[in-house]
């Protein structure tokens, strides 16, 4: 039950985009058509589902106080270890996809390497570390659930946004507000709509 | 004189947040109050400036295939220093900023400026470019935080602006606008800033 609660929370209540603004750069830049949004969302979800558990293991057995060597606290290395894992994992995914599925590689194009600097992924790992301290994530299984859930939440947000922006082309917007301006305001309104989930607890 | 342009350009005409749409990720959640926004702005400015400086010094020695990893390592090392300094000297603010300090690493402004500017320019120019973009970022954070703190809590930098006697609890007519404290309002305020900014800078408007 707690795991299900964590899953629902990470998708809807603690949504990466609407509650924490993570991954906003690519969210605004890539949400112009539903098709590319779907592809990028899938890639981000996959990378998050893999890197959050990886970082969980590193955090548990290397970075946490007394984990590696008794009396040594390596937690100040958190940032550099997490970003190294994420960057190398993205590089690996890129190489594997390029080798085994060139058509998918061409579809995702420049978005693949960009994932390394997507704040949602780094943020997912950092929140995972916080939730381990507060006891919300307990064990590898729950860290996988959290990674998948946060990725799905981001995916949901970017696809919704892309769908709205496709329709938006037919509306009359003040010319100064066109483009990013209206995108921000819409995201804010969607965030207010998502606040409705905040009371739900399973 | 051309150096001066590196500093002033990013403040308005080429602002990283509202024109280049970079670095929104870690920006908005820290704008509930002025104080964390100020600290965050300074931290990003320091990291951007020194990341630009270091990468500009190294620019001729790095093979372009591995430059992303090198950039991330340099930036991560700088962010760790900033994080440790914040923890040592302003512990309360560092608690409020929580994971957002770590997210400076993936802040698109820093990667963006290193990629777009520092890899092709001299160290001193790059350093100034970093300071300028950091200032532009901090300016937007402070504007957003000003409105959110003033209307959401009635204070600015924790100094009370709206008098206590105005509040309904004390027999007055006023109450705080609670929604200002929620994350979505930060997005809407940035949207409005972009709107106002582009009404004055017509060349930035789309189509």
Q: pLDDT of B98-145, one tens digit each?
A: 778 878 887 778 888 888 888 888 888 888 888 988 888 898 889 999
Whether the predicted pLDDT of A1 surpasses 80: no
DSSP letter, residue B167: B
Of residues A36 and B89, more confidence is placed in B89
Whether the predicted pLDDT of A44 surpasses 70: yes
User: Is ipTM > 0.85 here?
Assistant: no
Question: How far apart are the C-alpha atoms of A189 and A44, rounded to whole Å?
Answer: 24
Lookup result for tokens 């400026």: B113
Predicted local confidence at residue A150, as pLDDT: 92
pLDDT in tens, B76-101: 889 889 988 988 988 888 888 877 88
Predicted local confidence at residue A52, as pLDDT: 92
The answer to whether B116 and B109 have CB atoms below 8 angstroms apart is: no
Under the banding of pLDDT at 50, 70 and 90, the label for residue B27 is low
Give the side-chain half-sphere CA count within 13 A for B1.
0
Question: How far apart are the C-alpha atoms of A62 and A74, rounded to whole Å?
Answer: 7
Is A189 near chain B, with CB under 8 Å? yes
Burial A171-200 (b: 16+ CB within 10 A, else e): eeeeebbbbbbbbbbbbbebbbebbebeee
Is A111 near chain B, with CB under 8 Å? no
Question: How far apart are the C-alpha atoms of B20 and B152, rounded to whole Å?
Answer: 28
Task: Centre a 10 Å sphere on the Cβ of residue A111 and count the other Cβ atoms it contains.
Answer: 17
Whether the predicted pLDDT of B64 surpasses 80: no
Q: Which of B130, B140, B138 is nearest to B41 (CA)?
A: B138
Of residues B65 and B155, more confidence is placed in B155
Question: How far apart are the C-alpha atoms of B45 and B50, rounded to whole Å?
Answer: 9
Facing B80 at nearest CB: one of A80, A121, A195:
A80
Predicted local confidence at residue A202, as pLDDT: 63
> CB B79 to CB A118 under 8 A?
no
pLDDT in tens, A51-81: 999 999 998 888 887 777 777 778 788 888 8
At A31 the three-state DSSP class reads coil
Instruction: Tell me what the mean pLDDT of segment A107-121 comes to.
Output: 73
Chain B residues 121-150 with CB within 8 Å of chain A: none
Predicted local confidence at residue A152, as pLDDT: 93
Question: How far apart are the C-alpha atoms of A122 and A51, rounded to whole Å?
Answer: 9
Q: What is the pTM of this model?
A: 0.84
Facing A191 at nearest CB: one of B103, B105, B183:
B183
Preferred mutation among A13, A14, A17, A24 to probe B, highest tally of B CBs within 10 A: A24
Predicted local confidence at residue A108, as pLDDT: 67
The answer to whether B34 and B152 have CB atoms below 8 angstroms apart is: no
Under 8 Å CB-to-CB from A201, ≥6 apart: which residues? Answer: A5
Question: How far apart are the C-alpha atoms of B187 and A36, rounded to whole Å?
Answer: 23
Under the banding of pLDDT at 50, 70 and 90, the label for residue A156 is very high
Under 8 Å CB-to-CB from B178, ≥6 apart: which residues? Answer: B152
Is B188 near chain A, with CB under 8 Å? yes
What does pLDDT average to over chain B?
83
Predicted local confidence at residue A120, as pLDDT: 85
Whether the predicted pLDDT of B68 surpasses 80: no
Q: Which of B53-57, B84-88, B158-162 has the lowest mean pLDDT?
A: B158-162
Instruction: Tell me what the mean pLDDT of segment A82-105 comes to.
Output: 82
Instruction: Tell me what the mean pLDDT of segment A5-32 comes to.
Output: 82
């Amino acid at each position: 039950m707690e795991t299900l609660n964590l899953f629902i929370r990470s998708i809807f209540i603690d949504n990466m985009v609407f509650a924490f603004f993570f991954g906003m750069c690519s969210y605004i830049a890539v949400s112009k058509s539903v098709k590319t949004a779907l592809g990028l969302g899938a890639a981000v979800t996959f990378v998050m589902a893999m890197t959050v558990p990886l970082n969980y293991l590193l955090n548990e057995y290397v970075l946490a106080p007394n984990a590696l060597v008794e009396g040594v606290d390596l937690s100040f290395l958190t940032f550099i270890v997490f970003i190294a894992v994420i960057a190398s994992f993205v590089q690996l995914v890129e190489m594997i996809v390029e080798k085994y599925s060139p058509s998918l590689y061409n579809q995702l194009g420049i978005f693949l390497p960009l994932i390394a600097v997507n704040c949602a992924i780094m943020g997912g790992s950092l929140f995972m570390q916080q939730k381990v301290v507060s006891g919300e994530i307990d064990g590898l299984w729950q860290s996988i659930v959290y990674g998948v859930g946060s990725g799905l939440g981001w995916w949901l947000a970017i696809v919704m946004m892309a769908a709205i922006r496709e329709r938006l082309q037919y509306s009359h917007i003040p010319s100064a507000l066109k483009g990013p301006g209206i995108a921000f305001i819409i995201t804010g309104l969607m965030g207010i709509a998502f606040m409705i989930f905040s009371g739900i607890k399973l | 004189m051309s150096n001066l342009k590196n500093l002033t350009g990013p403040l308005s005409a080429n602002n990283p947040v509202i024109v280049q749409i970079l670095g929104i990720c870690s920006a908005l959640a820290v704008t509930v109050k002025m104080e964390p926004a100020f600290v965050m702005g300074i931290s990003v400015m320091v990291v951007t400036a020194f990341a630009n400086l270091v990468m500009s010094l190294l620019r001729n020695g790095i093979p372009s295939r591995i430059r992303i990893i090198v950039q991330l390592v340099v930036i991560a090392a700088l962010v760790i220093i900033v994080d440790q300094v914040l923890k040592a000297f302003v512990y309360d603010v560092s608690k409020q900023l929580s994971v957002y300090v770590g997210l400076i690493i993936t802040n698109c402004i820093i990667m963006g400026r290193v990629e777009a500017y520092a890899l092709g320019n001299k160290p001193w120019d790059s350093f100034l470019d970093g300071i300028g973009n950091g200032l532009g970022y901090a300016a937007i954070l402070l504007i957003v935080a000003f409105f959110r703190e003033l209307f959401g809590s009635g204070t600015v930098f924790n100094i009370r602006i709206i008098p206590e006697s105005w509040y309904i609890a004390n027999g007055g007519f006023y109450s705080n606008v609670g929604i200002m404290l929620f994350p979505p309002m930060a997005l809407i305020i940035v949207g409005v800033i972009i709107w106002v900014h582009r009404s004055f800078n017509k060349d930035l408007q789309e189509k």
